[in-house]
């Protein structure tokens, strides 16, 4: 990786912060080569603690960076790209982290020859345990994808796939984090109901989710196989699983992923009509 690579983040929220932490963790990119822009200084403090420069000017950031993460809410993408388009050159790589906004829309809002990638991370990037999926636009080369993967390797699991998978990943992993939190909360509240102190119950629930996830990832086994290994005939687990099946947990979770995916697709459809192809 080029140690002179300059990286910018438009947006100073959790996703930008998590990615910035991961990028800096490798040591390949010095903090002095990273800059963040946002209209408010509210979140600047934690970036400055990393040694990262901050600015309120998106145009200044783009002009001084080679690779720019656009880490803003989907409804802001059109105005942000319209603001920076005159400062984007063929040397730039633009990486969008906006849910639902398609590569076609992004490319239509930027100069014709711009290298664009679409990335969907999730909140655990904050602790470098994220799940990230990216897709390359029509002008992005394999080496552009390799560069992005190298930059993000300390953020967690990084995979490349077709754009059709990005919205599914949003429902599975982007929104799925909240589904896991809801389940962890319910686990703890069940223990509280049975008489355990709340603080202890929530601590044990968090460790249970963490341990189960790590075992699932590292063992390579199908979830159903691991689940069967916990069950013994007539034991506590099979009785509990029966109660969960009666409550429709499996169907509700599948529907939640489906609904979140469709919402991501809807956001993409809403953003598409605003794009007009720039020909520079």
Residues at the annotated binding site? Answer: 10-15, 58, 71-74
Alpha-carbon distance values, 22 to 120, 155, 258 (Å): 15, 5, 30
C-alpha 88, offset from chain centre: 24
User: 273 vs 70, 89, 116, 166, CA distance in Å?
Assistant: 20, 24, 19, 20
Residue 62, H or E segment: helix 58-63
Sequence-ordered strand ranges (E) for 100-141: 115-120, 130-136
Task: Detail the DSSP E strand segments found in the chain.
Answer: 7-10, 34-37, 53-55, 67-70, 93-96, 115-120, 130-136, 156-160
Residues in the annotated binding site for NADP(+): 10-15, 71-74
Extract the tokens encoding 74: 């989907």
Q: Which residues contact 130 (CB under 8 A, 6 or more apart)?
A: 18, 22, 121, 122, 123, 124, 155, 156, 157
Written as six digits, the tokens of 26 are 């490798």
Among all chains, which residue has been given the structure tokens 């802001």? 76
3-state SS, residue 149:
helix
Q: State the Cα–Cα distance between residues 237 and 182, nearest whole angstrom.
A: 20
Q: Binding site for NADPH: what residues are annotated?
A: 58
Query: What is the sign, positive or negative, of the torsion defined by CA atoms of 249, 127, 154, 260?
Result: positive
């Amino acid at each position: 990786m080029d140690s002179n690579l300059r990286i910018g983040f438009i947006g100073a929220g959790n996703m930008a912060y998590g990615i910035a932490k991961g990028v800096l963790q490798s040591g390949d990119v010095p903090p002095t080569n990273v800059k963040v822009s946002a209209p408010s200084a509210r979140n600047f403090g934690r970036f400055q603690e990393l040694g990262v420069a901050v600015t309120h000017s998106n145009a200044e950031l783009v002009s001084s960076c080679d690779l720019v993460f656009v880490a803003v809410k989907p409804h802001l993408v059109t105005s942000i790209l319209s603001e920076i388009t005159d400062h984007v050159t063929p040397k730039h790589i633009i990486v969008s982290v906006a849910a639902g906004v398609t590569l076609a829309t992004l490319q239509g809002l930027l100069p014709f020859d711009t290298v664009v990638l679409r990335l969907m991370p999730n909140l655990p990037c904050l602790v470098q345990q994220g799940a990230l999926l990216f897709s390359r636009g029509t002008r992005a080369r394999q080496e552009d994808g390799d560069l992005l993967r190298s930059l993000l390797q300390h953020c967690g699991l990084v995979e490349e796939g077709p754009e059709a998978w990005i919205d599914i990943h949003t429902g599975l992993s982007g929104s799925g984090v909240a589904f896991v939190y809801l389940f962890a909360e319910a686990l703890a509240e069940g223990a509280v109901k049975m008489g355990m102190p709340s603080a202890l119950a929530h601590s044990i629930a968090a460790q249970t989710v963490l341990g189960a996830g790590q075992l699932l990832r590292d063992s390579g086994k199908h979830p159903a196989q691991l689940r069967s290994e916990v069950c013994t005939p007539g034991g506590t687990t099979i009785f509990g699983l029966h109660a969960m099946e009666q409550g429709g947990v499996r169907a509700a979770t599948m529907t939640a992923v489906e609904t979140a995916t469709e919402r991501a697709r809807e956001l993409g459809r809403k953003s598409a009509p605003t794009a007009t192809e720039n020909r520079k």
